[in-house]
Structure formats: C-alpha cells, structure tokens
C-alpha cells in the first residue's frame, strides 16, 4: 500500500515534487514573514526603551498599538 502511495502508478515523480515545492515555498515564506515581524517588534521595543521616561509614558498612553506591540513582544521573549 505504501509503495502504491509513493509510486502512484508512475506519476509519483510528478505528484510528490509538486506538493513538496508548494509546502517548502509556503514554509519558507512563513518563516521569513515571522522572522521579519519579530525583528520589527524587537526593534520597536528597544526604541521605546531608549526613549526618556516622559516620552515613553506619552507614547504608551496615546497609542494602544504601541502597548500591544510591547506586550506581545514580552510574551515572545
């Protein structure tokens, strides 16, 4: 049965590469997108840290998004 699934009556040589290419491309794309997102989150959190206490307070009070980014960054790292 396993042999049938792998060989697919001689069409396995076409079917498996199609699925593998698709899965590999999707996997790589996911990895790159996630990596970029985490990089930006990290940089953003660092830039917030470098702000003076007063400026940081203003940013966090005025921007819900900044607060969310910081909290999601803290969850990850």
Partner 1 sequence: MFNFFYNSNLFIWIEKIINFINSIFFVLLISALSFALIFSPPDYLQGDSVRIMYVHVPAAWIGLASFSCIGILSILNFIFKIKNLTIITKSIAPLGLMFTCLAIVTGSIWGQPTWGTFWAWDARITSMVILAFFYFIYIAIHKLISDEDKAIKFSSIIAALGLINIPIIKFSVEWWSTLHQPASIKITGTSTIHSSMLMPLLLMFSVLILYCALIFLMKYKTEIIRIKKKNLKRL
Query: Does 9 help bind partner 1 (rule: CB under 8 A)?
Result: yes
From the CB of 34, what's the least distance to partner 1, in Å? 6
Tokens of 19: 């699925």
Listed in sequence order, the DSSP H helices in the chain are 2-7, 12-50, 53-62, 64-76
Query: Which one, 8 or 74, has the nearer CB to partner 1?
Result: 8
Q: What angle do CA 24, 26, 32 make, to 5 degrees?
A: 100
Query: Does 57 help bind partner 1 (rule: CB under 8 A)?
Result: no
Distance of CA 43 to the CA centre of its chain: 15
Q: Which residues bind partner 1 (CB under 8 A)?
A: 5, 8-9, 11-12, 14-15, 17-19, 21-22, 25-26, 29-30, 33-34, 36-37, 40-41, 43-44, 47-48, 51, 55, 59, 63-66, 68-69, 72
């Amino acid at each position: 049965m396993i042999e049938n699934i792998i060989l697919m009556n001689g069409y396995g040589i076409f079917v498996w590469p199609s699925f593998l290419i698709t899965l590999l491309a999707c996997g790589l794309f996911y990895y790159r997108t996630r990596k970029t997102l985490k990089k930006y989150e990290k940089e953003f959190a660092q830039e917030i840290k470098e702000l003076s206490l007063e400026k940081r307070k203003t940013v966090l009070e005025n921007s819900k998004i900044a607060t969310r980014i910081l909290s999601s960054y803290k969850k990850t790292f």
